A and B are shown apart, each in its own frame.
Chain A
Amino acid sequence: MKPFLLFKEKDFDSSVLLPWNAADIIQDLGLNVLFKAMAGEDELLWEVAQKTLLTATENDIGTIFYRQEILKDCLDHPSEIKEIYATAQEAIDRRKKSWFGVFTNYPSSVLSGSREMILLYIDELKKLRGIAENHRSKFRSAGFKRFFEMIMAELSGDYFEEIEKHLQELRLDKNLVMSARLGKGNKGIRYTLHPPEAEKLSWWQKIFGQKAKGYTFYIHPRDESGSRALRDLKDRGLNEVANALGQSSDHILEFFKLLRTELSFYLGCLNLHSHLSGLGEPLSFPQPLPSDYRAQVGKGLYDPCLAISMNRKVIASDIKTDNKNPVIITGANQGGKSTFLRSIGVAQLMMQNGMFVPADFYSAGICNSLFTHFKREEDTTMKSGKFDEELARMSQIADHITPDAIVLFNESFAATNEIEGSEIAGQIVRALIEKGVRVFYVTHLYDFASNIYKDGRMDALFLRAERKEDASRTFRITEGRPLVTSYGQDLYYKIFKNDVAGNDTSDEGNISTGRVAASDKDL
């Protein structure tokens, strides 16, 4: 019995390791905000949200659609989902409250402990059966249909009877029949327990005249070491059966745990959905495309983490990369470039995780891995050390990257002078592009951007952080070639308000000249 609610034909492996760059991705895309919205304080929900999202690039398109369907069922019937979740939770809690597992030094206590445990699990199994009977017709997804059919088939009344019969027998209040062989030194080995009926057979043999061969002896009631030896002998006989029953009990528990874990993903999605819809943000189920579509098409794409942390609807952008690669994003400082880059990364991961995406519409080719290479603000090392560190991170990425990956660069390789930085960035990007890696690069390295613009070998898309004439930012990203200045001056004047107020004509003239030069320059 398998829930199979995350994958069509396999379990979710909760021991799966996060990818090596998980910490970078979480930090660079600000994913902890997303996990918080999905999980609240629930550790399991958090863990499942994190593990599924960060391993989402391993899913094939079939899995994405499989989850989308199940998630739609969950959005339609949240109370049933929560009831199944609660049933699994109860079964797991029973185990926590029981003594089973504490005394596992003796097979006899393993046997009686697991016997009692399974008797308790039968209640929850019956409850699950009840839910299936009452609600299964409402569910449309292939995943839930299979799940409920399985419950109906495997947890029948006959089956419950069979289990209960065995549990009754395993009280072992009659004879204990076991067999053994002679091992080294003629010590007994391979002790095997047999069902108690077996003894009846030997009685039968006795009655119908087969020679009753045998040897009988008694342990004296006051022979303490003899009683100990007898107990030891019994335990040897019970060992395999106790193990079988103990493992069976674990298997039932594992089933409930797996069910709870896989449902955790959908509960997290339900939480996120209500949070973002509550802010008035749009959500939609995306169209994943095979990886050879190296394209992104999005309308009203926004960064959900920003929306959650600002607790309001945020500016959205459209994107249409066609098959252009790399995508180079330039423009005003604080113009929303990083947010835009993040929204692409988050939407891509959410889509590949089978979730809805933060957009009115989103469709993209799936990637087989996603890397982020963001400038690290907190780095306080000297300049050369910082540049070293950037290249070291790039080298780590290079250890793992393959074609059909996506790399998001944010102000990378700027920790040196512009000429050197541009040269390095240019070489790296060219190599990645030629290897079939999709690159999104936010940069203010003008040399780098304009070299690519001029370089006929790369079919790049240039986006620019939009700004209005009054220098206030719209945080919207539109198509546009790189300009020589990015608008740090604006920021300066915004922050140094007095300076703006008191600036004279000559100052303004200089700035204007700079801008004119930028826009007039023939690239």
Chain B
Amino acid sequence: MYAVHPINAQIIFMPFNSILFSTKEETSATMPECFGDLHLDQVISSACAGKDEYNLRTFFYTPLASAENINYRQQVFKDLEHPEARQPVETFAAYMKQMRQSWIVYEKSLYDHQKQRIFLDIVTDYCDAVTRLEKGLSSAQLKSQGLLQFADYLKSYLCSSSFITLSSEATELLKDLQGIQYNIVIRQLRIQVLPYNHQPDYSAVIEKTFSRFQQQAQKDYRVKFDNSPDMNHVEAAILKGVSELYPQLFERLKQYASGHTNYLDDTIAAFDREVQFYIAWLQYISELKQRGLLFCYPKILKDSKNVRCSESFDIALAKKLSAENKRVVTNDFCLEKEERIIVVTGPNQGGKTTFARMFGQLHYLARLGCCVPGKEAALFLYDQLLTHFEKEETVETHRSKFEDDLVRIHEMLEKATPGSILILNEIFSSTTLQDATFLNKKIMQIADRLDMLCVWVTFIDELLNLSRKTVSMLSTIEPDNPAARTFKIIRRPANGLAYALSIAEKYHVTYQQLKDRIKV
């Protein structure tokens, strides 16, 4: 489907589909189930904040199914990370936003002379916005298929005769209106509108008289007037007076406003909305990037499950910590050969849940085509992201909740496939150890059989021995000061070495710490 405007139908356009999809995919308006557990609800709502008019959530709620589309978006993202490509797009968006606000004033206006001029202002902005966007994009070093094709489309649009007419007439009309200068003479309740007479500016006269006292201090006594675009009836009457001084010009304005009501191009309007998906994400992560946190475009694994990531973090937590000016701890993971199940054990409050969230977020964000937290990543193109995070609960609701959990996990596993990712956080921790161990073992057998990628946060060490596919990772704390959390999750057998390791950490002499400390 090519969105070509009817009035431009005779022009041969460079076809353009969408900046978000190289091949069309269905979008969903409902929030994925994993969002709450992974805190992606916070992330996406924060990323979309202030952008309600674009209704971007539906794009963030829809992970892409094809690697081709993911690649299409990654390329666009990479282009837009460069200011020379992003700046024109953001400027364009600001124009379009301004235009939408002007329409509200247009709808409200009671006076024709005002209405027609607002329309002219809107079209002027539109022409300006589109022209600048084309100029900006054509001088940027674009590499992505999406933006290159859109730039071609824009170029042919700007050359169309309808656009040229629309734009040049507006420019001329605006120039003539801006050239008008008129006098207002007020005596008590009488107001006269007269031609301008080249009189001296009284404030300049006053400034000159007192210039010998000129000192540094410069308090500005100018009152800031309400600059709302609304017009009162006195202003409207003055405007009527001005229109009588320049009748032909105001007639031209009227003709223009009635002749160009279909000025907006559908493809450009769609681009305006869809490109905000990229801008929203880049804006969201920019603050974290400034703090030195790294983001990367992950390699998408279709067949291999040997996922890995270095220096990654829970993006929702990072956002919160950076707002409080606190340090963000990064973590790594790497699965090789047969390894599928990361079993995270270790002291509480050590960042285990955060690690599990991070794993889920990375995979979800990768399927959106976004860059993900971390220095380098290879992530699996999963089909379903299945999560279950145990929440703290009161004793009264305990029993029924336990049952509900079991039901939910059962349902999850019913629809699980070898292509699914399973993230379980302290499931059944509120039941007896015996029950919990039993249930965990049972679920792990299913996961093992399906060969699913799993992150398993648990306090049950023995789960590690249940499958050859498990990998042990540990949370760590400082031994002398259990209150000090390191939030570091380390790949290491769960055999008590963690204690010794954390002593080394206390003295900042682990491999990684030493590497960090020795600056070039």
Contact of A178 among B183, B223, B229, B235 (CB under 8 A): B183
Q: Is the CB of B201 within 8 A of A11?
A: no
> How far is B268's CA from A355's CA once the two chains are assembled, in angstroms?
74
> How far is B214's CA from A2's CA once the two chains are assembled, in angstroms?
9
Q: Is the CB of B178 within 8 A of A181?
A: yes
Q: Mark B210-246, 1 if CB is under 8 A from A, else 0.
A: 1011111111111101000101111101111110110
Q: Is the CB of A226 closer than 8 A to any CB of chain B?
A: yes
Q: Is the CB of B234 within 8 A of A230?
A: yes
Interface residues of B in 168-217 (CB under 8 A from A): 177-178, 180-187, 189-197, 199-207, 209-210, 212-217
> How far is B231's CA from A301's CA once the two chains are assembled, in angstroms?
77
CB contact under 8 A between A216 and B191, given known A234-B186, A248-B207: yes
Q: Is the CB of B307 closer than 8 A to any CB of chain A?
A: no
Q: Is the CB of B191 within 8 A of A230?
A: yes
CB contact under 8 A between A246 and B181, given known A1-B213, A218-B190, A241-B206: no
Smallest Cβ distance from B113 to chain A, in angstroms?
6
Residues of chain B contacted by A297 (CB below 8 angstroms): none
Q: Is the CB of A194 within 8 A of B193?
A: no
The count of chain B contact residues (Cβ–Cβ below 8 Å) is: 64
Q: Mark A209-222, 1 if CB is under 8 A from B, else 0.
A: 00001111111110
Contact of A194 among B121, B191, B202 (CB under 8 A): B202
The count of chain A contact residues (Cβ–Cβ below 8 Å) is: 73
Q: Is the CB of A176 within 8 A of B186?
A: yes
Q: Mark A4-21, 1 if CB is under 8 A from B, else 0.
A: 000000010000000000
> How far is B198's CA from A58's CA once the two chains are assembled, in angstroms?
51
Q: Is the CB of B217 within 8 A of A250?
A: yes
Q: List the interface of chain B (C-beta within 8 A of A).
A: 105, 109, 113-114, 117-118, 121, 177-178, 180-187, 189-197, 199-207, 209-210, 212-223, 225, 229, 231-235, 237-242, 244-245
Q: Is the CB of B191 within 8 A of A202?
A: no
Contact of B238 among A11, A163, A188, A232 (CB under 8 A): A188
> How far is B244's CA from A217's CA once the two chains are assembled, in angstroms?
13
CB contact under 8 A between A239 and B187, given known A187-B235, A219-B234: no
Residues of chain A contacted by B216 (CB below 8 angstroms): 11, 254
Q: Is the CB of B222 within 8 A of A239?
A: yes
Q: Is the CB of A194 within 8 A of B221?
A: no
Residues of chain A contacted by B223 (CB below 8 angstroms): 104-107, 110, 235, 239
Residues of chain A contacted by B191 (CB below 8 angstroms): 216-219, 230
> How far is B204's CA from A185's CA once the two chains are assembled, in angstroms?
28
What are some 30 contacts across the A-B interface (CB < 8 A)? Answer: A1-B213, A105-B223, A107-B221, A178-B184, A184-B121, A185-B121, A186-B177, A187-B114, A192-B203, A193-B202, A199-B185, A201-B199, A214-B194, A214-B245, A215-B192, A216-B193, A219-B189, A225-B233, A230-B234, A235-B223, A239-B223, A240-B201, A243-B203, A245-B206, A245-B210, A250-B219, A251-B214, A254-B213, A254-B215, A258-B215
Q: Is the CB of A251 within 8 A of B213?
A: yes
> How far is B209's CA from A68's CA once the two chains are assembled, in angstroms?
35
Chain A to chain B: the 7 pairs with minimum beta-carbon distance, closest first: A215-B241, A248-B210, A246-B221, A254-B215, A198-B199, A229-B234, A194-B199
> How far is B238's CA from A217's CA once the two chains are assembled, in angstroms?
9
Q: Is the CB of A439 closer than 8 A to any CB of chain B?
A: no
Residues of chain A contacted by B232 (CB below 8 angstroms): 225, 229, 232
> How far is B223's CA from A2's CA once the two chains are assembled, in angstroms?
29
Smallest Cβ distance from A250 to chain B, in angstroms?
6
Q: Is the CB of B194 within 8 A of A187?
A: no
Residues of chain B contacted by A226 (CB below 8 angstroms): 233-234
Q: Which residue of A lies closest to B240 (CB)?
A: A215
Residues of chain A contacted by B215 (CB below 8 angstroms): 2, 11, 250-251, 254-255, 258
Besides A186-B117, A244-B206, 6 new A-B residue pairs in contact (Cβ under 8 A), listed by A number: A166-B209, A181-B180, A194-B183, A201-B199, A241-B202, A246-B221
Main secondary structure of the interface of B (DSSP, over half): mixed
Contact of B212 among A1, A202, A220, A239 (CB under 8 A): A1
Residues of chain A contacted by B217 (CB below 8 angstroms): 250-251, 254
> How far is B221's CA from A233's CA once the two chains are assembled, in angstroms?
17
> How far is B186's CA from A232's CA once the two chains are assembled, in angstroms?
12
Q: Is the CB of B203 within 8 A of A182?
A: no
Residues of chain B contacted by A247 (CB below 8 angstroms): 207, 218-219, 221
Q: Is the CB of A304 closer than 8 A to any CB of chain B?
A: no
Contact of B234 among A181, A233, A258 (CB under 8 A): A233
Q: Is the CB of B245 within 8 A of A215?
A: yes
Smallest Cβ distance from A309 to chain B, in angstroms?
38
Interface residues of A in 76-104 (CB under 8 A from B): 104
Q: Is the CB of A306 closer than 8 A to any CB of chain B?
A: no
Residues of chain A contacted by B190 (CB below 8 angstroms): 216-218
Q: Is the CB of A195 within 8 A of B241?
A: no
Q: Is the CB of B184 within 8 A of A182?
A: no
Q: List the interface of chain A (C-beta within 8 A of B).
A: 1-2, 11, 104-107, 110, 114, 154, 162-163, 166, 170, 174-182, 184-188, 192-195, 198-199, 201-202, 205, 213-221, 225-227, 229-230, 232-237, 239-248, 250-252, 254-255, 258
Contact of B197 among A106, A201, A241 (CB under 8 A): A201
Residues of chain B contacted by A198 (CB below 8 angstroms): 197, 199-200
CB contact under 8 A between A163 and B225, given known A214-B194, A246-B219, A254-B215: no
CB contact under 8 A between A187 and B245, given known A241-B202, A251-B214: no
Smallest Cβ distance from A126 to chain B, in angstroms?
15
Residues of chain A contacted by B241 (CB below 8 angstroms): 214-215, 217
Smallest Cβ distance from A248 to chain B, in angstroms?
4
Residues of chain B contacted by A174 (CB below 8 angstroms): 187
> How far is B233's CA from A246's CA once the two chains are assembled, in angstroms?
31
Smallest Cβ distance from B182 to chain A, in angstroms?
6
Contact of A240 among B121, B184, B203, B238 (CB under 8 A): B203
Residues of chain A contacted by B114 (CB below 8 angstroms): 185-187
Q: Is the CB of B233 within 8 A of A193?
A: no
CB contact under 8 A between A186 and B239, given known A177-B199, A192-B201: yes
Contact of A195 among B121, B189, B199, B233 (CB under 8 A): B199
Residues of chain A contacted by B199 (CB below 8 angstroms): 177, 179, 194-195, 198, 201
CB contact under 8 A between A182 and B210, given known A193-B203, A216-B191, A254-B217: no
Q: Which residue of A lies closest to B226 (CB)?
A: A232
Residues of chain B contacted by A178 (CB below 8 angstroms): 183-186
Q: Is the CB of A236 within 8 A of B203?
A: no
Residues of chain B contacted by A234 (CB below 8 angstroms): 186
Residues of chain B contacted by A250 (CB below 8 angstroms): 215, 217, 219
Contact of B200 among A166, A194, A235 (CB under 8 A): A194
Residues of chain A contacted by B113 (CB below 8 angstroms): 186
Q: Is the CB of A241 within 8 A of B203?
A: yes
> How far is B200's CA from A219's CA once the two chains are assembled, in angstroms?
28
Residues of chain A contacted by B237 (CB below 8 angstroms): 217
Residues of chain A contacted by B209 (CB below 8 angstroms): 162-163, 166, 248
Residues of chain A contacted by B193 (CB below 8 angstroms): 214-216
Choose among B192, B203, B204, B207 the residue with the greatest number of A CB atoms under 10 Å from its CB: B203
> How far is B242's CA from A177's CA once the two chains are assembled, in angstroms?
16
Smallest Cβ distance from B151 to chain A, in angstroms?
30
Smallest Cβ distance from A266 to chain B, in angstroms?
20
Residues of chain A contacted by B244 (CB below 8 angstroms): 215
Smallest Cβ distance from A103 to chain B, in angstroms?
11
Smallest Cβ distance from B380 to chain A, in angstroms?
53
Q: Which residue of B lies closest to A228 (CB)?
A: B232
> How far is B216's CA from A230's CA once the two chains are assembled, in angstroms?
35
> How far is B203's CA from A179's CA once the two chains are assembled, in angstroms?
13
Q: Is the CB of A179 within 8 A of B231?
A: no
Q: Which residue of B lies closest to A125 (CB)?
A: B213
Smallest Cβ distance from B204 to chain A, in angstroms?
8
